[in-house]
Amino acid sequence: MRSYDGLPFSLRDGMRLYIEGHVETDGFLHAVLSNDLLGACERADYGNQRRLFSIVCWVYNEAPSTCWGSPAKVAAWVAQRDG
């Protein structure tokens, strides 16, 4: 079972729904997963600004590599929900 403890509490539910349920995210989390650094920085609240490096490290080490890295990979991951 995957642990989401390494993420800020405010992101855990959204990340769990995305990874386990293929539920689309938006805003900051979508930008992080899509490898959109500028978008992530623009959308981050103060807490996520300070934790951006650790959030990206968690994604790299814990999330399936097929669910992050580009907008196309994120879209393909979400598309699996209906497929």
- The pLDDT tens digits of the residues spanning 49-76 come to 999 999 999 999 999 999 999 999 999 9
Residue 38 lies in a domain: yes
Give the count of domains, the chain: 1
Residue 3 lies in a domain: no
DSSP 6-62: TS-HHHHHHHHHHHHH-----HHHHHHHTT-HHHHHHH--HHHHHHHHHHHHHHHHH
CA-to-CA distance for 68 and 14, rounded, in angstroms?
14
Question: What pLDDT score was predicted for residue 54?
Answer: 97
Find out whether 7 and 48 touch, Cβ atoms under 8 Å.
no
Question: What pLDDT score was predicted for residue 1?
Answer: 75
CA 41-46-50 angle, to 5 degrees, is 75
The residues near 44 (Cβ < 8 Å, ≥ 6 apart) are 28, 52
Residue 70 lies in a domain: yes
Residue 49 lies in a domain: yes
Residue 30 lies in a domain: yes
Residue 81 lies in a domain: no
pTM metric for this prediction: 0.93
Could you list the residue range(s) of the whole structural domain that residue 51 is in?
Answer: 9-76
Task: Please report which confidence band the pLDDT of residue 2 belongs to, taking 50, 70 and 90 as the band edges.
Answer: confident
Residue 4 lies in a domain: no
pLDDT at 10 over 60: yes
